Amino acid sequence: MKISRRRPGPCVKKNVLQFVLFLPLLVAVVFSSSGCAGVVSAGGGNSPQQKQALLVISIALPAGTSQSTYSTTLAATGGTGPYTWSVTKGSLPAGLTISSSGVISGTPTQAGTATFTVQVADSSSPTATATANLSITVAAAAQTPYITTTSLPSALPGTVYSATLLASGGATPYSWTVSAGALPAGLTLAASTGVISGTPTTAGTASFTVQVTDAASNTATKALSIAVTAVQSPSVTTTSLPAGTTGTAYSTSLQASGGTTPYTWNLSAGTLPAGLTLVASTGVISGTPTATGASSFTVQVTDAANNTGTKALSITVSAAAQPPSVTTTSLPSGTADTAYSTTLHATGGTSPYSWSVSAGALPPGLTLVTSTGVISGTPTTAGTFSFTVEVKDAANNTGTKALSIVVAAQPPTVTTTSLPGASTGTAYSTTLQ
């Protein structure tokens, strides 16, 4: 057999572009080239196949949810299997781990985005490696809804009622139902708004359980109750009214309890004392009485539901007290250096009285006792002393009187009590004192 030898031709370089599509992963692009060498063949033959480079092809990883199981498997191409995987930089989300086979799994414990670098090593010798920067986003777990309403206001039979249930958490919109028990007769619950409304018809306490359901069908319940209280008519609690005085400003307030505020007041019988009026919105009786006497009348209170209550009352108006007046018209005279005492007198007004000297001055040595009106002491100087005394009663009304005290000089007194004896024919002399 004849063996022929071919002369090597020029080096021919071939470029091969390969597209490998891994949905939904990124396209990996691998370039390879044949060597530039001559080939000797016997009976014809093919050039050896080039080994594909090792490449991580898991570029985008699925997101996770905190407190929910997570699992995904990393993928690579090229090199020589089996592969061994590890994290060389950064860290996986808390709660996740990576196996040597490239499985990332576990239960993420908190929301956030974790960025890390994975490395794949093949089984060739020497070992080939490839890396890729990856990330996993963990979303917060949806919160279960809960009802924040803890109590509901009471209601009155025949009176329009409205209260709104409130909830938080979960995914809106909410849907409301009564899952146990029943609302008071006459009330209903709006499923879309959580509003309990209507007009209750019967007194009593209704206990029930409301349930809220969020957009993700998560639910929560709450036991509640509504007390429908029987209507209580208002009653006047004022039992008596203070007396008044003619010419003096007067004011007092009527009081009531029960029923539904606000109250309105009026006289259903009788009349108030002349000069006084009743304010309908406040129940205040005020004014200045102009005549004496006792006035009897009946007051009526009406509540917001037109329920009424009455009370018979009266006001006694007395004449205004006369101001006090000093009845002492003159004062006894005194003598210098001789003890002196006299008492001032007054009438009218309201006792007790208080006395003072409002003008002039008492004789030197004398003083006026404020609480008793007694002028006392020992005058030291003769003369006539004019002054004005003032009396003030318990209501601060006053009366005055101009008075005077005459203080006489002390008359002479013979102080000699005996004389010396004398003898006839003998000169005698003594001095009287």
pLDDT in tens, 381-393: 999 999 999 999 9
Check pLDDT > 60 for residue 9. Answer: no
Check pLDDT > 90 for residue 59. Answer: no
Q: Looking at the domain assignment, is residue 16 inside a domain?
A: no
Q: Are residues 329 and 314 part of one domain?
A: no
Share of the chain above pLDDT 90, in %: 72
Going from the C-alpha of 185 to that of each of 151, 190, 201, 205, 212, the distances in angstroms are: 18, 15, 6, 11, 21
CATH code, 206: 2.60.40.10
Check pLDDT > 60 for residue 92. Answer: yes
Q: Are residues 123 and 107 part of one domain?
A: yes
Output the six-digit token pair for 279. Answer: 């304010």
pLDDT value of position 21: 31
> Rounded to an integer, what distance in angstroms lies between the CA atom of residue 342 and that of residue 372?
11
Share of the chain above pLDDT 70, in %: 88
- R_g over Cα of the chain: 59
Q: How many separate domains does the chain show? A: 4
Q: Residue 194 carries which side chain, given as an amino acid letter?
A: G
Which residues are within 8 A (CB) of 217 and not within 5 positions of it... i.e. 6 or more apart? none
Q: Are residues 132 and 69 part of one domain?
A: yes
Q: Looking at the domain assignment, is residue 184 inside a domain?
A: yes
Q: Looking at the domain assignment, is residue 60 inside a domain?
A: yes
Q: Looking at the domain assignment, is residue 156 inside a domain?
A: yes
Over the chain, what is the mean pLDDT? 86
pLDDT value of position 157: 86
Check pLDDT > 80 for residue 19. Answer: no
The kind and range of the H/E element at 120 are strand 112-121
From 261, 294, 318, give the residue that closes a domain: 318
Q: Are residues 87 and 155 part of one domain?
A: no
The percent helix, strand, coil of the chain (3-state, each to 5) is 0, 45, 55
pLDDT value of position 232: 76
Q: Are residues 359 and 293 part of one domain?
A: no
Q: Are residues 285 and 255 part of one domain?
A: yes
Q: Are residues 160 and 88 part of one domain?
A: no
How confident is the model over 42-71, as a mean pLDDT?
A: 75
How confident is the model over 30-53, as a mean pLDDT?
A: 40
From 77, 109, 139, give the residue that closes a domain: 139
Q: Are residues 207 and 264 part of one domain?
A: no
Q: Are residues 106 and 84 part of one domain?
A: yes
From 274, 291, 318, give the residue that closes a domain: 318
List of E strands, 271-423 = 276-278, 284-287, 293-302, 308-318, 325-326, 334-335, 340-343, 346-347, 354-360, 366-368, 374-377, 383-392, 398-408
Q: Are residues 59 and 135 part of one domain?
A: yes
What DSSP state is assigned to residue 378? -
Answer yes or no: are the C-beta atoms of 318 and 243 closer than 8 Å: yes
Q: Are residues 252 and 202 part of one domain?
A: no
Q: Looking at the domain assignment, is residue 61 inside a domain?
A: yes
How confident is the model over 297-310, as a mean pLDDT?
A: 92
What are the tens digits of pLDDT across the range 246-302? 888 999 999 999 888 899 999 999 999 999 999 999 999 999 999 999 999 999 999
Among 23-37, 239-253, 274-288, 391-405, which is the least confidently predicted range?
23-37
pLDDT value of position 49: 52
Which residues are within 8 A (CB) of 403 and not within 5 positions of it... i.e. 6 or more apart? 328, 330, 331, 386, 387, 388, 389
How confident is the model over 226-238, as a mean pLDDT?
A: 89
pLDDT value of position 17: 28
Q: Are residues 239 and 308 part of one domain?
A: yes
Q: Looking at the domain assignment, is residue 352 inside a domain?
A: yes
Check pLDDT > 60 for residue 13. Answer: no
Q: Domain limits at 329?
A: 325-408
Check pLDDT > 50 for residue 46. Answer: no
> Rounded to an integer, what distance in angstroms lies between the CA atom of residue 390 and that of residue 402?
9
Output the six-digit token pair for 407. Answer: 């203080």
Q: Looking at the domain assignment, is residue 189 inside a domain?
A: yes
Q: Looking at the domain assignment, is residue 106 inside a domain?
A: yes
pLDDT value of position 399: 94
